[in-house]
Amino acid sequence: MMTTTLRPTEPLQHDPDGACHRAYEIRVNSRPVGGLVLSAHTEYGLGSIVGLRVAEPDRGRGRAAVAVLAAEEVLRGWGCRRSEGVVPSGSEAGLRLAASLGYTEDARLLRKALRGRAPGLPAGSRARPMTGTEFAAWREREHLSYAGVLREYRGLSAEQAGDLAARDLATCFPEGSPGRGQRLWVLEHEGVAVGTLWVTDRETDVYVMNVEVSEEHRGRGHGRSLLLWTESDGLAEGHRAAELNVHTRNTPALRLYESLGYRPFQHHFVKTLT
C-alpha cells in the first residue's frame, strides 16, 4: 500500500510580521518525492501553500492532491480558515489540480515585457512626483481602500483589515515617507490632478501597487495613461517588465490591462477551510 504524507524538515519559523512558516517533504512510504512550504497569518486565519513540487517520476499518481489535502489539515490545525495558493500560467496540471480540490481563482498576476522607447502620454496629460502634502492625504485614502479590499476578498473583520493594512503600509512607508524603491506619481490633465500611481521595484520588474483615478474623472482614459506612465517609470529604472495584480471579478480592469498587452503570469487560488 502506498501512503503519501508530509514530513516537516525544520521547526516552525516565526516571522517579524507575526506570520509563521514551515517547510515539508512529501513522502511516499518514507521515500521523498517532493515538497512544499506552509505559511500562515494565524491571527487572521489566513494560510498559504507555497512551492508545491513533485518529482517527475511520481507525477500523475495523485501525490500532489494528497499532499495539498494534508497541507490543508495542517493549516486547519494552525487555526486557518482559508487556504491560498499560486499556479504559474501555463501549468495545465496545476490549474486542473486546483479546480479538482475546490479552489477558485481569486486574482491574476499579469505581466508585460518592457522594450524600446517609453510610450508618450496623451496631449494635455503629464505625470509628476507626489508632494508631501498630497502624500499625507493619499496615505489615509489608501489605508481605507486597502482595508476594504482585505475585508471583501480575504474575509477579514473591519478591525483585522484595518490592522493588517496599517502594518503593510508602515512597512512600505517607514517614518511616514516612501521607502526605498517606492515611487508615487500624480497624473495631471490640463493642470488638474486626476489620478495617482504607486509603483515599487521587484528585482528586474516594476510592480503596480495601486492605480487610482478620481471618481469625477473616470471614463476618460486616465487609467490607461497611468499605466502607460508605469512603463515609462519602469524603463527609466532599467526594468525588464511591468507587473500588476487584478481580481478576476474586476472585468473592466482585466479588459484594460489585456488591451495594453498584459498577460497572465500567475493565477491566485483560494479555498475556504471548513
Record the cell numbers describing residue 274, joined without a space. Answer: 471548513
Domains of the chain listed by start with CATH number: 4-80 (3.40.630.30), 115-239 (3.40.630.30)
pLDDT at 174: 87
Measured between alpha carbons, how far is 45 from 273 in angstroms, rounded to an integer? 10
- So what's the pLDDT on residue 18? 85
CA 174, 47, 35, 6 torsion-angle sign: positive
pLDDT of 100 reads 97
The three cell numbers of residue 132 are 508631501
Write out the H or E segment, with its range, that includes residue 231: helix 222-236
14-23, pLDDT tens digit by residue? 998 889 999 9
pTM attached to this predicted model: 0.90
36-90: pLDDT as tens digits: 999 999 999 999 999 999 999 999 999 999 999 999 999 999 999 999 999 999 9
Mean pLDDT of 225-233: 98
- 252: part of which helix (H) or strand (E)? helix 251-259
Q: Which residues contact 259 (CB under 8 A, 6 or more apart)?
A: none
Strands 104-113 and 82-88: unpaired
- pLDDT value of position 1: 62
- pLDDT per residue over 108-135, tens digit each? 999 999 999 999 999 999 999 999 999 9
Report DSSP state, residue 122.
P
Distance, in Å, from the CA atom of 159 to the CA atom of 86, rounded to the nearest integer, reads 27
Dihedrals phi, psi of 30, to nearest 5 degrees: 75, 0
pLDDT digits 0-9 by tens, 180-196: 899 999 999 999 999 99
Contact 185, 196 (CB under 8 A): yes
Rounded mean pLDDT of 230-236? 97
Asked if 33 and 26 touch (Cβ cutoff 8 Å), the reply is: yes
